[in-house]
Amino acid sequence: MQPTYRPSKICRARKCGFRARLKTRGGRKILANRRRIGRKKLAD
């Protein structure tokens, strides 16, 4: 049996990175909300 979580930085960045967020309307909304809260990190 193999481990269920095999982290890959590239996979993660493509799915939930800053550029991925900017591509969709919902993603831009997420960034706007995080900016409003004042997050130190907006996306991975």
CATH number for 42 = 1.10.287.3980
Of the pLDDT bands very low, low, confident and very high (cuts 50, 70, 90), residue 14 is very high
Of the pLDDT bands very low, low, confident and very high (cuts 50, 70, 90), residue 22 is very high
Report residue 24: phi and psi, to 5°: -110, 155
Of the pLDDT bands very low, low, confident and very high (cuts 50, 70, 90), residue 17 is very high
Identify the pLDDT of residue 24: 96
Q: What is the DSSP letter of 38?
A: T
Alpha helices in 1-44 (DSSP H): 9-16, 18-23, 25-37
**Residue 42 in tokens:** 């907006």
Q: How many domains are there within the chain? A: 1
Instruction: Assess if residue 3 is contained within a domain.
Output: no
What's the predicted TM-score (pTM) here? 0.77
pLDDT per position as a tens digit, 26-41: 999 999 999 999 999 9
Instruction: Assess if residue 27 is contained within a domain.
Output: yes
The 10 Å Cβ neighbour count of residue 9 is 9
